[in-house]
Structure 1
């Protein structure tokens, strides 16, 4: 009897130790500078941005759907090819409750609460709306912590700490650091060479979300794609014209600046603008169709007579690079367009394929870029 009692006591102690090892409360500082207590590793997450899957899939490669219990529909609508690739491999994605809204929209709080999540991830740009709606307090009353991350507003600053946050909360810190190191090394291939050679920087204009907007000229200031242009060795003409990340300038300003390159950010946006002038760059895109739709852009009044029009230096880039940890691939491709001789040995498609092979559970499909100058 004494041996049986001792055995039971040891079993109970083992269960206690195992549970304690699995459940730990830690305090993290999110991208908004808030200190938040979270039980880790998290098991049930609601994503205020469906495209947060881009980082989650790199951490939970074996089953990226496992911990997502609710998300916004933006991935399904804005990047349908990627969604279908994940759905084909992980059918559980089709069962995740999804709610409507764009980047700055509030989450559906009823759907969120109903899923009983361990955590809610929100984009930094939703902070003001969330505070006005008192969602932090409402969710906090139910012991549901909220974490702000940012791959969109200032990704050149916040991408690495956002990756680290996901890594820490998912119990995947080592893998997160591997991704950060890979990303940094690929960016350094550009910035180090530019620092050594110091080539002349061509003027560049970014036609933001082309085809999503009918009017001209939406662009980026000194952040996001604007910062990517600078890292790639270009001179973003809107950096001193647009305060902050996003904005619009008039056609006359573009003509006067006379950019040598036009970067069109676009995607397959049939869900938003059926039959629109968007350029369908993205995984598995039709190269011929990309060229056909990109050919419209030199006819825009803002580009008539500029250097880029004369040289057919119009390039299409997958818009979702602006909201993911994969921005370094776009930086490499832009560097090749701006400085083809300096970066002749660089292969952005191979870089993106390596990312997929090392970190992601789906196969790489080219189609993320197009250029009339090809």
Structure 2
């Protein structure tokens, strides 16, 4: 081989290596960019599949884990404690309302997921560092399917997301089909209290809408829609609800004894002795863990069965809840989420 040919081969090899940027750069990247439009209407480009996520929403965290993305979460809001392995993830704020911006920027995630409680200023500070922020109503059951699909897209888990969406929509359809033919007089009047005595959900709120979707009539149908209003015993007695449902909040579901105590307090409230719901003991306690996010369909099934036991005699909400946890989180059902 003459000198000219040797020189030619050396130059070709050198050029090839420079174009490849070394052996590591020769491996093609499987990551791309996807476009997400969030609840605020903002369109953004997000890497997919993301490698790191900060979730300031407990409902979003649960969905991320159900989509096999729990190991991507490097920071969380303090209320993100389910599934239990999230407790090992650093806390970067109490919630979307009070994020630790400095810590979030230090962790430098691919994306931040937040509820609508996040301030415009907080969002801008994060986005100015080149970190996209997906803002949505993750607690709103009407947004659950859209949120599942968006999070599946950024995780590169679209197929898994469709499996979860199909599971939820299957039971939503059952409820819709069975209550769709009900006459108004066949729908029970429901008092739904939200977190504290006499605080009532109206139609237009997530909780109030669930009552209607399950085949009930809201006791607050004539109040300003989309609000939680504080009422009195006289107000309730005058409207004479058929059923009372009280939603309790908390990171950890209350014990059966605690829920029984709450129920007994409602049954013994002054001024409600002649109310149908109290006389018939149709008073139920439901926990926030099955009212929002992916498990919200479980709460829907309980409500529908309480309102129309004959129509949903074949449905066991607890069994559906168990299946949801086993199939998508690999967990067994523990604790009590409703009473009785």
1:19: Cα distance to partner? 3.9
Q: Which runs of 5+ in 2 are unaligned?
A: 1-5
Written as runs of structure 1 = structure 2, the 5 A alignment for 1:35-46 is 35-46=43-54
Q: Quick check: 1:57–1:361 contact (8 Å CA) kept in 2? A: no
1:55: Cα distance to partner? 0.6
Change (3 A) 1:365 1:36: same
Aligned match of 2:74 in 64, 69, 76? 69
- Matched residue of 1:323: which SS? coil
Partner of 1:159: 144
Relative contact order, higher structure (CA 8 A, sep 6+): 1
CA distance in 2, matches of 1:14, 1:263: 63
Q: What is the TM-score normalised by the length of structure 2? A: 0.86
Change (3 A) 1:151 1:304: farther
Aligned match of 1:251 in 226, 233, 247? 233
Per-residue displacement from partner, 1:3-26 (whole Å, max 9, x unpaired)? 9959x86987985574432x2122
CA distance in 2, matches of 1:27, 1:362: 32
CA distance in 1, matches of 2:292, 2:216: 20
Partner of 1:272: none
CA distance in 1, matches of 2:110, 2:99: 16
Q: Quick check: 1:163–1:180 contact (8 Å CA) kept in 2? A: yes
1:260 matched to 2:260? The reply is: no
CA distance in 2, matches of 1:74, 1:333: 24
Aligned match of 1:185 in 170, 180, 194? 170
Change (3 A) 1:170 1:223: same
1:321: Cα distance to partner? 2.7
Change (3 A) 1:249 1:290: closer
CA distance in 1, matches of 2:128, 2:181: 55
1:176 matched to 2:181? The reply is: no
Q: Quick check: 1:221–1:247 contact (8 Å CA) kept in 2? A: no
Q: Quick check: 1:218–1:249 contact (8 Å CA) kept in 2? A: yes
1:148 matched to 2:135? The reply is: yes
Per-residue displacement from partner, 1:262-320 (whole Å, max 9, x unpaired)? 00111456xxxxxxxxxx8x3xx643553244211122346342111111111011123
Partner of 1:122: 114
Q: Quick check: 2:219–2:239 contact (8 Å CA) kept in 1? A: yes
What is the number of equivalent residue pairs in this alignment? 329
CA distance in 1, matches of 2:47, 2:178: 44
Q: Quick check: 1:226–1:239 contact (8 Å CA) kept in 2? A: no
Change (3 A) 1:31 1:353: same
1:26 matched to 2:34? The reply is: yes
Aligned match of 2:298 in 329, 344, 360? 329
Change (3 A) 1:261 1:150: same
Q: Quick check: 1:222–1:240 contact (8 Å CA) kept in 2? A: no
Greater Cα radius of gyration, structure 1 or 2: 2
Per-residue displacement from partner, 1:69-115 (whole Å, max 9, x unpaired)? 11111234xxxxx45xx23xxxxx44422144356x23121121121
CA distance in 1, matches of 2:114, 2:264: 37
1:56: Cα distance to partner? 1.1
Partner of 1:273: none
CA distance in 1, matches of 2:298, 2:95: 25
Change (3 A) 1:138 1:359: same
Q: Which runs of 5+ in 1 are unaligned?
A: 77-81, 88-92, 270-279
Q: What is the TM-score normalised by the length of structure 1? A: 0.79
1:317 matched to 2:286? The reply is: yes
Partner of 2:192: 206
Q: Is 223-232 or 190-199 further displaced after alignment? A: 190-199
1:238 matched to 2:220? The reply is: yes
- Matched residue of 2:186: which SS? coil
Q: Quick check: 1:220–1:226 contact (8 Å CA) kept in 2? A: yes
1:228: Cα distance to partner? 1.2
Per-residue displacement from partner, 1:186-243 (whole Å, max 9, x unpaired)? 1111211222455700000111113xxxx53343432312111111111111243143
Partner of 1:54: 62
